[in-house]
């Protein structure tokens, strides 16, 4: 079964850091681009970042550039999101998703999400 | 403010047909990039509903259909059922952002 399981969320103070992880199983992780997508409480979906199969290309939404870093470890079938200088507006459920570029471009598998709360 | 524009809400009675619109611009839908749709049931993660404008993943009923024209796209749901009550999001690729963009979401209420 194709599965993505996020972890690492929690409560953090403004200005703090957090590292999210996503464990992939049931497919060849190293063959896919991967993304992080977030959803603030009561709000819509927002694409955050994605990373190429070998990690050589990474793209970010403007609001997180310079603060968040996406990475992956293909040997561990894992995706990461290092979040620094966190702000209240980063409070959201963060979803890990598998990218598909067959039809330019969408997310065909989603995890259940991990909740990040930025508050003092 | 989402890059793609959707109506905040739509509603319909069981058995009826509803459509949800999604409007973009020349850097995303209008540039020829495909449109995709996701269904998010209350308290759950999004699920891919339509990909490549009009294709359904395995397991998605043919009551759901998608189309695209110019800078807009539409999701149609026919034979409405109570379990269709959910939030629906359109998504495309934006060349100016080099990433994915979503609509603000549409809440479907089955009356």
Q: Specify the pLDDT at position B1.
A: 84
Q: How many interface pairs between A and B have CB atoms less than 8 angstroms apart?
A: 74
Residues A3-38: tens digit of each pLDDT: 999 999 999 999 999 999 999 999 999 999 999 999
A contact set with B (CB within 8 A): 35, 37, 44-47, 49-50, 59-62, 95, 100, 102-113
Does position A64 have pLDDT exceeding 90, yes or no?
A: yes
Residues facing residue A95 across a β-bridge: A37
Q: Which residues of A touch B48 (CB under 8 A)?
A: 106-110
Cα B82 to Cα A22, B57, B58, B85, B110: the distances in Å are 33, 21, 21, 6, 6
Express each pLDDT in B39-96 by its tens digit.
999 999 999 999 999 999 999 999 999 999 999 999 999 999 999 999 999 999 999 9
Query: Which of B35, B45, B86 is the best substitution to test chain A (most A C-beta atoms within 10 A)?
Result: B45
pLDDT score for A103: 80
Residue A104 — pLDDT band, cuts 50, 70, 90?
Answer: confident
For residue A2, report the phi and psi dihedrals to the nearest 5 degrees. -70, 130
Name the burial class of residue A28, with classes exposed (0-12), middle (13-18) and buried (19+) by CB atoms within 10 angstroms of its CB: exposed
B74 at interface of A, judged by CB pairs closer than 8 A: no
Measured from the Cβ of residue A47, the count of other Cβ atoms closer than 10 Å reads 23
């Amino acid at each position: 079964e194709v599965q993505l399981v996020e972890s690492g969320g929690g409560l953090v103070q403004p200005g703090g850091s957090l590292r999210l992880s996503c464990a992939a199983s049931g497919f060849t992780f190293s063959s896919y681009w991967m993304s992080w997508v977030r959803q603030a409480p009561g709000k819509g979906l927002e694409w955050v970042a994605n990373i190429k199969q070998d990690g050589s290309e990474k793209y970010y939404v403007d609001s997180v550039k310079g603060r968040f870093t996406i990475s992956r470890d293909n040997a561990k079938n894992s995706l990461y999101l290092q979040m620094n200088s966190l702000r209240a507006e980063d409070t959201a459920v963060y979803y890990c998703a598998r990218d598909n570029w067959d039809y330019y471009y969408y997310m065909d598998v989603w995890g259940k999400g991990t909740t990040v709360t930025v508050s003092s | 403010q989402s890059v793609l524009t959707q109506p905040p809400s739509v509603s319909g009675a069981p058995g009826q047909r509803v459509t949800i619109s999604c409007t973009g611009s020349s850097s995303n839908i209008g540039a020829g990039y495909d449109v995709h749709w996701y269904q998010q049931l209350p308290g759950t993660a999004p699920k891919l509903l339509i990909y490549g404008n009009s294709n359904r993943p395995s397991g998605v009923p043919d009551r759901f259909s998608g189309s695209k024209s110019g800078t807009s796209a539409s999701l149609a749901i026919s034979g409405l059922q109570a379990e269709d009550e959910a939030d629906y999001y359109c998504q495309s690729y934006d060349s100016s952002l080099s990433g994915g963009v979503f609509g603000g979401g549409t809440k479907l209420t089955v009356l």
